[in-house]
Amino acid sequence: MAATSPTKQQLLQQGMALLLKNGYNYLGLTEILESTGIPKGSFYHHFRNKEDFGLQAIDLYMTGVHAALDACLDDRTLPPLRRVRRFFELVQDSYQGEGYLGCLLGGLGQELSGVSDAFRQKVEECMSAIAGRLATCLDEAVQAGDLPAGTNPQAHAELLVNCWEGAALRSRLRRDPNPLGQMLDFYFRQASA
C-alpha cells in the first residue's frame, strides 16, 4: 500500500475533525481548504468528490481505532475483560479531548445511513470489524472463566458496540462523560454476573 502524501493526510485530518464537529452535510470544501491552506486542485488530485473524501476519512479514523484496539487487546499483561474495558476508556479519553463530540462512525451513520448506501455499508463494516476484534478478546474471557460458560462472545461484542454508540450519543448531547462511564460500569458488571 502506497504511503499517503502529506497533503492528503492534512486534508483528511482536518476533514475528520470537521466531520466530527459539523457532520457531512455541513462539511464545506472551502472550509477544509481555508483551514489547511491547500489549493482546490490538490483536493481533487486526491479525491474524486466529497463522498470519496468522506469514505477515506472513515478509513483514516479506523486506522486509529485499530491501533487503539491493538494496543489494548494485545496487552497480555491484563486479563481479557480489562483489555476490552481499557480500549473503551482510551476512546473515552479521546472523546474528552474533542469536547465529547462522540464517535465519527456513529455520527456519520446517524446522519447518512438513510440517504447513502455507500456510507451505510462503510459504517456497518467498520462497526462489525470493531465488534469482531472485541469478540475475539471476549472469547478469551469465556475460556478463562471470566465470563459465564455458554456466553456468545460475538453477541456480547455486538451489544457492547451498540450500547457504546448510544452512550456516545448521549455524551455528545450533554457534553459530559457520565453516560460513557455509566454504560461501561453497567455492561461489565452485568457481563460477568
Structure confidence at residue 193 (pLDDT): 73
Number of H helices, E strands in the chain: 9, 0
Distance CA 95, CA 178 (A): 12
Distance CA 94, CA 79 (A): 23
- The string of pLDDT tens digits covering residues 64-84 is 999 999 999 999 999 999 999
Burial class (CB in 10 A: 0-12, 13-18, 19+), 115: exposed
Distance CA 117, CA 133 (A): 24
Structure confidence at residue 1 (pLDDT): 44
∠ at Cα 169 (70, 140), nearest 5°?
A: 30
pTM more than 0.75: yes
Mean pLDDT in residue range 16-38: 92
* pLDDT range class, residue 2, cuts 50, 70, 90: low
- The string of pLDDT tens digits covering residues 86-118 is 999 999 999 998 888 889 999 999 999 999 999
Q: Which CATH superfamily is domain 52-191 in?
A: Tetracycline Repressor, domain 2 (1.10.357.10)
Q: At what angle do helices 104-112 and 6-22 cross, to 10 degrees?
A: 70
